[in-house]
């Protein structure tokens, strides 16, 4: 059995993917980095709601951000996030 702490960390990671809004945000970021306003417009949600979800995703190391002038641009943290989303989608499409 894996180390208990690793098991809890893995469970916490999967909890992040248990929210459809966060999944939609991640899919917005698959192709390109975006600012909060662009994601909010694409998902037809408020910037406040998107900012909240991005904070959770950033704390979980699933997205990263960089400053471009006054704007913060968000992107997927690494290719593992895309792999997880692809594997999940493949599973539910079976």
* Full pLDDT tens readout for the chain, 94 residues: 568 889 999 999 999 999 999 999 999 999 899 999 999 999 999 999 999 999 999 999 999 999 999 999 999 999 999 999 999 999 999 9
Q: In 10 A of CB 14, how many CB atoms?
A: 10
Indicate the pTM of the whole model.
0.91
By residue count, the chain amounts to 94
Q: Tell me, what's the pLDDT at 2?
A: 66
Cβ contact 39:28 at 8 Å: yes
**Helix, strand, coil shares of the chain as percentages rounded to 5?**
65, 15, 20
Please list the residues that pair with 67 across neighbouring strands. Answer: 72
């Amino acid at each position: 059995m894996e180390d208990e702490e690793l098991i809890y960390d893995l469970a916490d990671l999967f909890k992040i993917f248990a929210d459809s809004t966060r999944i939609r945000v991640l899919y917005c970021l698959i192709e390109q980095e975006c600012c909060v306003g662009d994601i909010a417009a694409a998902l037809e949600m408020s910037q406040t709601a998107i900012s909240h979800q991005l904070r959770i995703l950033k704390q979980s190391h699933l997205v990263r951000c960089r400053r471009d002038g006054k704007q913060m641009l968000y992107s997927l943290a690494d290719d593992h996030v895309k792999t997880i989303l692809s594997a999940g989608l493949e599973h539910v499409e079976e």
